[in-house]
């Protein structure tokens, strides 16, 4: 790994702890209110308005809520793909068929994730997406995203790049998580836009 990579990772770990601590102080009311506003803002994006297939995820814990957005996309006739975490931290995908189609799955000692029941479509299914909604903890003015550190979405973005796929990359965050700078490593890829409860910001 380069010196840049070695220097960036401790900084990322410290930043992650700070953003997670702030999220953990949010109340149930805060979470409900922000989820509704986030869905409204995201649905205004042309990239989602014209999408036939969107790769997304189900929020857990204090993450910005995504269920209202998933249901609104499905109501529009959009095919929504949701991730399924594999043993090596890579992501398989399944189709979203409503909240009742989700199951709680615990991976080791981690928080249980909500994943789609039913057919697994393979890691390459994400290449069919017109837009990919990414989880994160922060994004900076360059569009560089701070993830949770598991590397799952780094693999997804690398897979898209190798395949020559070019979906819109959109990270969903709280307003205070759009910051001036986050540490970046050579493999990190910028997103095209961030959606927060108060609006949309585009990059590059």
Q: What does each C-alpha distance from 145 to 48, 124, 180 come to in angstroms?
A: 20, 22, 11
Q: What does each C-alpha distance from 6 to 11, 62, 181 come to in angstroms?
A: 9, 29, 17
Q: Binding site annotation covers 147?
A: yes
Q: Binding site annotation covers 58?
A: yes
Name the token pair of 197: 């409860």
Q: Binding site annotation covers 153?
A: yes
Q: Binding site annotation covers 111?
A: no
Q: Binding site annotation covers 12?
A: yes
- CA 198 to chain CA centroid, nearest Å: 18
Q: Binding site annotation covers 5?
A: no
Q: Binding site annotation covers 150?
A: yes
Q: Binding site annotation covers 145?
A: yes
Q: Binding site annotation covers 13?
A: yes
Q: Binding site annotation covers 100?
A: no
Please report the beta strands in 9-61, taking only residues with DSSP state E, as ranges in sequence order.
53-55
Q: Binding site annotation covers 91?
A: no
Annotated binding site for ATP, which residues?
A: 12-16, 145-153
Which residue numbers belong to the known binding site?
A: 12-16, 58, 63, 145-153
Annotated binding site for substrate: 58, 63
């Amino acid at each position: 790994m380069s010196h840049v990579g070695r220097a960036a990772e401790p900084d990322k770990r410290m930043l992650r702890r700070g953003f997670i601590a702030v999220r953990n102080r949010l109340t149930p009311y805060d979470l409900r209110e922000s989820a509704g506003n986030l869905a409204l803002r995201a649905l205004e994006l042309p990239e989602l308005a014209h999408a036939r297939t969107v790769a997304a995820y189900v929020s857990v814990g204090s993450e910005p809520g995504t269920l209202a957005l998933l249901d609104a996309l499905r109501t529009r006739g959009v095919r929504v793909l949701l991730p399924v975490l594999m043993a090596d931290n890579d992501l398989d995908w399944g189709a979203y068929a409503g909240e009742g189609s989700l199951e709680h799955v615990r991976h080791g000692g981690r928080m249980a994730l909500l994943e789609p029941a039913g057919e697994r479509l393979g890691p390459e299914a994400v290449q069919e997406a017109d837009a990919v909604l990414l989880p994160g903890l922060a994004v900076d003015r360059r569009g560089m995203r701070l993830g949770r550190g598991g590397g799952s979405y780094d693999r997804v973005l690398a897979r898209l790049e190798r395949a020559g796929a070019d979906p819109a990359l959109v990270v969903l965050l709280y307003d205070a998580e759009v910051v001036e700078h986050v540490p970046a490593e050579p493999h990190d890829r910028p997103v095209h836009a961030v959606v927060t409860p108060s609006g949309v910001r585009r990059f590059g």
